[in-house]
């Protein structure tokens, strides 16, 4: 090989080495960016898990409240039914009592006699 060819090959090798060094540097920078993205995604995933857990707890609380409301409605319906029964019973008893109440005899002058 002559000097020109060896100098040219040496220059090309230097250029290749420079390009490879640039590629290494760019790849390392990209790796650092990916590391940062990975860290952010892991933090986001952890936050989402915490949010999901809170949402699950909120859903359970709401479900418990709804069950309490359902129980309260059932109890109030039962109370309404009892009130209706008592009202009906009182009306029936009241009309019976009114029909069996002692009535004075009006044809016995001033004295008060009651029939039984």
Residue 16 banded pLDDT, cuts 50, 70, 90: very high
Mean pLDDT of 91-103: 66
In angstroms, the CA 5 to CA 12 distance is 10
**Domain range annotation of the chain:** 7-87
Q: pTM for this one?
A: 0.54
Mean pLDDT of 61-86: 97
Greater confidence (108 vs 3) lies with 3
Residue 113 banded pLDDT, cuts 50, 70, 90: very low
* The pLDDT of residue 99: 62
């Amino acid at each position: 090989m002559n000097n020109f060819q060896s100098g040219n090959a040496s220059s090309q090798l230097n250029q290749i080495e420079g390009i490879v060094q640039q590629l290494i540097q760019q790849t390392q920078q990209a790796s650092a960016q990916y590391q940062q993205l990975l860290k952010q995604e892991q933090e986001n995933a952890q936050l989402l898990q915490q949010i999901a857990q809170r949402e699950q707890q909120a859903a359970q609380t709401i479900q418990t409240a709804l069950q309490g409301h359902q129980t309260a409605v059932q109890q109030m319906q039962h109370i309404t039914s009892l009130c209706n029964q008592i009202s009906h019973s009182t009306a029936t008893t009241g009309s019976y009592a009114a029909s069996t109440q002692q009535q004075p005899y009006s044809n016995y002058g001033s004295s008060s006699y009651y029939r039984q």
